[in-house]
């Protein structure tokens, strides 16, 4: 039996047509915060519009608290966040709009496909830690991080609903047990005990989230919420089932003492060290089940929002056999989807086609730009190297140490026919430093070859990546050696006169046009290497 196509639940008769300029087109779910709609912004950007429940709106103090939290959350920006677009905390039914992320929640992936491999969990941990670092940098605490509040699209995990839980939990009129804000299974000990909550609380929730991704089980599961809270405060989950070194990371995040937990920045750096070159183009789409789930949602969204789209093909009517989604991504219960067979499945986007208008540049386009810049700098360096080999490279001047009288002056250049032939100084017993020239020219030429091969680190094949890494290491060693030699000659060019091998003379070298061009060639090579390596270190897949 074929799998039912993904479809958005249709709007109901009592649902509004628009809110604050956002045109509502479908329902996304309902949770502890309120009803969530799929909408289009005035500029056509897909958004998730969340309408706060009436019990919050009736609280006289809620609007003020909520407005402060929304104002703070609007300042948060990051590659792994779904940012706030707009909000009206003072409306009769307060609402807020965030960027819609067309992908599954991490809970959906695990529920459907089972525990994820340790490498994929580490990759996701990198992206989530990146998001938490951005949130905390804006002096905001998430307070409800969990797998259902993390959505995965082609550019990585996106954390949603950050910074707006505190106002809801403090609402004095909010007493509904069935829609309680917050998730005990992912609370920190200090949060469960009612103590002050800070950034370290989000790290504990990160540990519980990673535990779920790696095992398919909740770290502190129990029969009821009170038992869960007790386990969160008093028990330590069994991490022996998780392979090291991920085991050590999760255990550190789940430390009962907030001061002993790693910061998100430390978690991110740890993940980078473990992942190495895995943080490459398309890495996120390699996560189990991600590609198909993202394509389903993207295809349904495209068909729903396209001009003259037939709504029935992507929006399910409100009937018993239609999909029903509860919005865990707004702080409520675990989302459940009841699929319905569809005779006309929603279109699934062709992965070979370019992204739709309004989407971020793909990782492939970013890599193309990196390659083009790298190759351009290597070619410019090669041109400078050719000029260095054809023009006078350096001069050497000898003076008597006792009188300061100049006794010899030699201009040296690269000898294409006999590169290792010594250049005489004209002074008996005194040699030139001619070796610097062929070593510099030939070494730079070899360095440029290895610098070009360094681009193999961008390949998807592991063996090619290893060759690229080795080439980059060799190139870096050459640049370091040349820098040492070049600094000495540069110092002499600007006045340093060290003693010669013959103690009766001082020898001062000075760069000529060829020498300056060789410095330029190595500078361009170093910049190309550094730029590309910097991209490899900092890129989350699909971001630039």
Annotated binding site: 50
Three-state secondary structure readout of 192-206: HCCCCCCHHHHHHHH
Please give the Cα distance from 480 to 378 (Å, whole number): 17
Under DSSP, is residue 45 helix (H, G, I), strand (E, B) or coil?
A: coil
The DSSP output letter for 422 is -
Contact in structure between 370 and 68 (CB atoms under 8 Å): no
Please give the Cα distance from 186 to 412 (Å, whole number): 71
Residues 454, 456, 460: CA angle, nearest 5 degrees: 150
Residue 509: strand pairing partners: 396
Please give the Cα distance from 82 to 329 (Å, whole number): 11
Under 8 Å CB-to-CB from 47, ≥6 apart: which residues?
A: 22, 38, 39, 40, 41, 85, 97, 98, 99, 100
The DSSP output letter for 246 is H
Contact in structure between 52 and 36 (CB atoms under 8 Å): no
Please give the Cα distance from 330 to 161 (Å, whole number): 6
Please give the Cα distance from 168 to 141 (Å, whole number): 14
The values of phi and psi at residue 525, to 5°, are -65, -45
Residue 37: strand pairing partners: 27, 49
Q: Which helix (H) or strand (E) segment is 284 a member of? A: none
Nearest to 109 by CA among 212, 29, 187: 212
Please give the Cα distance from 241 to 210 (Å, whole number): 13
CB atoms within 10 A of CB 484: 8
Please give the Cα distance from 106 to 127 (Å, whole number): 12
| Residues designated as active site | 144
Nearest to 122 by CA among 154, 157, 153, 92: 157
Nearest to 310 by CA among 337, 356, 345: 345
The values of phi and psi at residue 201, to 5°, are -65, -40
DSSP 7-24: -EEPPPTTS-SEETTEEE
Contact in structure between 325 and 29 (CB atoms under 8 Å): yes
Nearest to 79 by CA among 539, 458, 536, 535: 539
Q: Binding site for ATP, residues?
A: 50
Contact in structure between 31 and 336 (CB atoms under 8 Å): no
Instruction: Name the CA dihedral angle for 181, 185, 191, 193, rounded to a multiple of 10 degrees.
Output: 110
The values of phi and psi at residue 94, to 5°, are -55, 145
């Amino acid at each position: 039996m074929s799998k039912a196509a993904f479809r958005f639940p249709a709007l109901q008769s009592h649902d509004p047509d628009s809110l604050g300029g956002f045109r509502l087109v479908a329902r996304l779910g309902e949770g502890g915060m309120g009803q969530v709609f799929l909408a289009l912004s005035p500029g056509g950007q897909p958004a998730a519009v969340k309408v706060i429940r009436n019990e919050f709106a009736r609280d006289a103090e809620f609007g003020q608290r909520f407005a402060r939290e929304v104002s703070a959350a609007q300042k948060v920006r990051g590659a792994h966040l779904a940012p706030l677009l707009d909000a009206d905390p003072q409306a009769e039914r307060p609402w807020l709009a965030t960027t819609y992320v067309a992908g599954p929640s991490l809970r959906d992936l695990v529920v459907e496909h089972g525990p994820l491999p340790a490498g994929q969990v580490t990759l996701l941990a990198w992206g989530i830690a990146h998001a938490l670092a951005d949130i905390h940098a804006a002096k905001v605490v998430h307070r409800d991080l969990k797998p259902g509040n993390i959505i995965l699209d082609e550019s990585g995990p996106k954390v949603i609903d950050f910074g707006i839980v505190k106002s809801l939990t403090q609402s004095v009129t909010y007493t509904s047990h069935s829609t309680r804000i917050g998730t005990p299974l992912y609370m920190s000990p200090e949060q469960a005990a009612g103590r002050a909550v800070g950034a370290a609380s989000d790290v504990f929730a990160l540990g519980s989230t990673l535990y779920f991704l790696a095992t398919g089980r909740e770290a502190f599961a129990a029969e009821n919420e009170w038992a869960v809270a007790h386990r969160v405060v008093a028990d330590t989950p069994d991490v022996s089932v998780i392979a090291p070194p991920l085991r050590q990371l999760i255990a550190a995040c789940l430390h009962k003492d907030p001061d002993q937990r790693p910061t998100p920045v430390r978690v991110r750096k740890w993940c980078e060290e473990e992942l190495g070159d895995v943080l490459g183009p398309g890495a996120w789409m390699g996560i189990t089940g991600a590609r198909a789930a993202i394509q389903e949602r993207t295809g349904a969204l495209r068909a729903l929002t396209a001009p003259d789209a037939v709504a029935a093909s992507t929006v399910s009517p409100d009937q018993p056999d239609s999909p029903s989604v509860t919005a865990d991504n707004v702080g409520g219960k675990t989302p459940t989807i009841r699929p319905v067979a569809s005779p006309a499945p929603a279109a699934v986007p062709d992965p070979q086609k370019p992204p739709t208008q309004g989407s971020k540049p793909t990782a492939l386009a970013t890599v193309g730009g990196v390659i083009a810049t790298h190759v351009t700098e290597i070619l410019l360096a090669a041109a400078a190297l050719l000029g260095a080999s054809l023009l006078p490279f350096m001069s050497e001047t000898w003076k008597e140490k006792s009188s300061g009288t100049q006794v010899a002056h030699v201009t040296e250049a690269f000898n294409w026919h006999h590169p290792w032939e010594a250049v005489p100084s004209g002074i008996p017993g005194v040699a030139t430093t001619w070796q610097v020239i062929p070593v510099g020219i030939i070494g730079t030429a070899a360095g440029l070859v290895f610098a070009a091969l360094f681009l193999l680190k961008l390949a998807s094949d592991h063996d090619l990546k290893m060759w690229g890494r080795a080439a980059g290491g060799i190139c870096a060693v050459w640049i370091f050696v040349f820098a040492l030699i070049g600094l000495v000659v540069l110092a002499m060019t600007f006045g340093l006169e060290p003693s010669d091998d013959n103690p009766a003379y001082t020898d001062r070298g000075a760069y000529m046009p060829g020498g300056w061009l060789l410095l330029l060639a190595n500078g361009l090579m170093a910049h190309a290497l550094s730029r590309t390596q910097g991209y490899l270190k900092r890129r989350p897949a699909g971001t630039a």
